[in-house]
Amino acid sequence: MGSLSCLTPNGQVTIPRQILKTLGIGAGNQVCISVEKGRLVLRRVEGVTEKGNSNTGGKAVPFF
């Protein structure tokens, strides 16, 4: 699965709606962004409450 997206002057990127839908994430979901072996990695963070506390330790779940 792949799509092209452009980086804005502010360093923001839009994740295509179809990819978000496929991954089951949407507005309000928290994600963890990191660099691993020269690649940008985006992970969904599960179990985080509004205050940033976590029932699951803030476990990052890879999308792939």
28 burial (CB, 10 Å; 0-12 / 13-18 / 19+) is exposed
**Dihedral angle computed from the Cα positions of residues 8, 11, 17 and 21, in that order, rounded to the nearest 10 degrees:** 180
Residue at 9: amino acid letter = P
Distance CA 33, CA 36 (A): 10
Tell me how far apart the terminal alpha carbons of the chain are, to the nearest angstrom. 10
Q: What is the pTM of this model?
A: 0.57
How many angstroms separate the CA atoms of 56 and 48, rounded?
8
8-64 per-position pLDDT tens digit: 999 999 999 988 888 888 888 998 899 999 998 888 888 755 544 444 445 555 555
